[in-house]
């Protein structure tokens, strides 16, 4: 394994996700205990002081895998030579807001960051977008970085994927490790479609194991799709540690590969697979290997799943039209 540090940029590093994410990245959760990483942390100017405090705490952990930390408020400086950019920094929604309400507030952040990555990131850069509305923010960054191949951009639906696994495990009494081939389709929003019809529990079809279409439609799907809102309601602020954990799961599997008997959910630029219009950043079942992903092909989509996928994709198309109108892409 290379001993050259992987340069990892994190935006919004002084925020609540950052406070969990940075320590896990620095402790080796991304690439293991043998590969050092260098953190490049971007914040807005007023948050730099708080970020200095977080860096003091990182120092105090004396992490063996942390090769260096640089902080700043200039994207061109912080993104210089980065191999992985985790774009977290954006305003979270508060009670009563839908993620779509964040389109104009957060979209502009991603035009500037897409341009900066295009200018200065390493040739092998991979970009994962966690900040909401994640799919459309990834579309904005991708469109503003014409020299970076489109397949290097993804938006986070791994948190939804993990939530779906956890709900299915609780329902069936299985361990989370017995659940394979979960899929989140579409947008990281309340329209997302968590699909158990292709998932497996202990090697058996999950929908058959559950044997209860009512639970799938009226309990499982809304619980997963509205989990973000339930956490905001309970905690008073949006999910942070679980979002950081999923951000790492997604980046780790992207760089190191998914398990041979499984797949993961990632929102990536559609190539037209499963009728999703080309170019939209939509969540699919993907396998990953050596920093590349491939959409799992050939799954049968019945009428129920078709209508759910179509509804979420229609919302993505509306978001794309809205940010086009705002002049962001």
d(CA 258, CA 178) in angstroms, rounded, equals 15
Q: Which of residues 126-155 bind ligand LMR (CB under 6 A)?
A: 132
DSSP output for 20-52 = HHHHHHHTTTTT-TTS-EEEEEE--GGGHHHHH
Contacted entry of ligand NAD, ligand LMR, none for residue 47, CB cut-off 5 to 8 Å set by kind: ligand NAD
Q: Which two tokens stand for residue 161?
A: 């994927």
Contacts of 233 (CB under 8 A, 6+ apart): 95
Phi-psi region of 275 (alpha: psi -120 to 50; beta: other; left: phi over 0): left
Instruction: Establish whether 137 is an annotated binding residue.
Output: no
Q: Is 93 near ligand LMR (CB under 6 A)?
A: yes
Q: Which of 99, 158, 181, 320 binds ligand LMR (CB under 6 A)?
A: 99
Q: Which does 88 bind (CB under 5 to 8 A by kind): ligand LMR, ligand NAD, none?
A: ligand NAD
Decide which of ligand LMR, ligand NAD, none touches 131; Cβ closer than 5 to 8 Å per partner kind: ligand NAD
Report the interface residues with ligand NAD, using CB under 6 A.
11-12, 14-18, 42-44, 47, 88-93, 109, 130-132, 134, 156, 159, 188, 238-240, 243
93 is in an annotated binding site: yes
3-state secondary structure of 229: helix
Distance of CA 156 to the CA centre of its chain: 1
- Considering Cα of 191, then 13, then 37, then 71, what sign does the dihedral take? positive
Nearer to ligand LMR, 71 or 224 (CB): 224
Q: Whats the size of the chain, residue-wise?
A: 329
Q: Confirm whether 161 is a catalytic residue.
A: no
14 binds, among ligand LMR, ligand NAD, none (CB under 5 to 8 A by kind): ligand NAD
Window 156 to 195, contacts with ligand LMR (CB under 6 A): 159
- CA distances to 13, 51, 119, 188 from 251, rounded to whole Å, are 17, 23, 22, 17
Q: Is 99 annotated as a binding residue?
A: yes
Helix 103-120 × helix 303-325 angle, to 10°: 80
Q: Which one of 7, 158, 181, 188 is the catalytic residue? A: 188
Task: By CB under 6 A, name the binding residues for ligand LMR.
Answer: 92-93, 99, 132, 159, 228-229, 231, 238-239, 243
The binding site comprises: 12-18, 93, 99, 106, 113, 130-132, 163
């Amino acid at each position: 394994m290379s001993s050259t540090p992987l340069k990892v940029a994190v935006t919004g590093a002084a925020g609540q996700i950052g406070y969990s994410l940075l320590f896990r990245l620095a402790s080796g959760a991304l690439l293991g205990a043998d590969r050092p990483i260098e953190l490049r942390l971007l914040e807005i100017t007023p948050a730099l002081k708080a970020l200095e405090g977080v860096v003091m705490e990182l120092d105090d952990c004396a992490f063996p895998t942390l090769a260096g930390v640089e902080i700043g408020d200039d994207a061109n400086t912080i993104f210089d030579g980065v191999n992985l950019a985790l774009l977290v920094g954006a305003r979270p929604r508060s009670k009563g807001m839908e993620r779509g309400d964040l389109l104009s507030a957060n979209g502009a952040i991603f035009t500037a960051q897409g341009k900066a990555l295009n200018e200065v990131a390493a040739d092998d850069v991979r970009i994962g977008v966690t900040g909401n509305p994640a799919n459309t923010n990834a579309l904005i960054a991708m469109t503003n970085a014409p020299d970076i191949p489109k397949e290097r951009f993804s938006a986070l639906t791994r948190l939804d994927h993990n939530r779906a696994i956890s709900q299915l495990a609780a329902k069936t009494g299985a361990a989370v490790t017995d659940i394979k081939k979960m899929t989140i389709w579409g947008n990281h929003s309340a329209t997302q479609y968590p699909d158990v019809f292709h998932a497996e529990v202990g090697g058996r079809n999950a929908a058959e194991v559950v044997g209860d279409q009512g639970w799938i439609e009226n309990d499982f799907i809304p619980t997963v799709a509205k989990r973000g809102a339930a956490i905001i309601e309970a905690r008073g602020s949006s999910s942070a540690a679980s979002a950081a954990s999923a951000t790492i799961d997604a980046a780790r599997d992207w760089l190191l590969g998914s398990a041979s008997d499984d797949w993961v959910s990632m929102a990536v630029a559609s190539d037209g697979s499963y009728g999703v219009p080309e170019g939209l950043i939509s969540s699919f079942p993907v396998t990953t290997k050596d920093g590349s992903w491939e959409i799992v092909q050939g799954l049968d989509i019945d009428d129920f799943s078709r209508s759910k996928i179509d509804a979420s994709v229609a919302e993505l198309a509306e978001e794309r039209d809205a940010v086009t109108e705002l002049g962001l892409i």
